[in-house]
Amino acid sequence: MRTRREQVSALACALFNKHTDIDECIAIANKYIQEAEERGFKRYQLKKTDHTAIDGRPSIKQWQHDQEEYFDPTIIEIVEEYAAWRDKQEAECAADTRRIEYFDRYKTKAISRWNDNLGRYEWSVQLDKWYPTFRPAIDAAMESGK
C-alpha cells in the first residue's frame, strides 16, 4: 500500500496534466486523499459497530456485507421499519385475497346493520354473530367452515 505522501504525489501529477499550478494540484490531491481517508474511517467505524438492530433482518445484514456499505444504526432502523411495514402489507394483501376467494368459492353473502347502541354498522357473514368490521366477520366464517 502506498503512503499518503505517495498517493498525493501520484494524484498531483495526474492533475498537473489538466492544471498548470503544481501547488493547486497538491492541494486538490490532499483534499481527495483526506476525503477518502474520512470515508474509509467512517466505513470502518460502521463496520465494527455492533449491528444488533439488523439481527432480525439477515437480508439487510447480508446486503451490507455484499456491498461493503455499512449504514448508521439510525438508517438501519428506518430500513427495518419500512421492511416490517412492507411485510405486513404483503401479509394483509394475502389475507384479503383468501377472504375474496372464500366469498367466491362458497357464494357467501354478507349483511350489515346499523347498531344504534354502538353508533356504527355491524357485519355478519353467518347471521349468528355480528362483528364491528367486515374482515373479522369473514374470518369467523372461514374458521367455522361455513
Let me know whether 55 and 102 are in one domain.
yes
Same domain, 60 and 82: yes
pLDDT, tens digit (0-9, with 9 covering 90-100), for 89-135: 888 888 888 888 887 777 777 778 888 887 888 888 766 788 887 78
DSSP string, 42-73: HHHHHHHS--GGGTT-HHHHHHHHHHT----H
- Regarding whether 44 and 58 lie in a shared domain, the answer is no
Query: Is residue 75 located within the same domain as residue 92?
Result: yes
Q: Give the chain's domain count.
A: 3
Task: Say if residues 111 and 127 touch (Cβ distance below 8 Å).
Answer: yes
Range(s) of the domain holding residue 35 = 1-48
Kind and range of the H or E run holding 121: strand 120-124
- pTM of this structure: 0.40
* Claim to verify: residue 11 and residue 35 sit in the same structural domain: yes
Same domain for 92 and 119, yes or no, is: no
67 and 85 together in one domain: yes
4 contact partners, CB below 8 Å, separation of at least 6: 33, 37
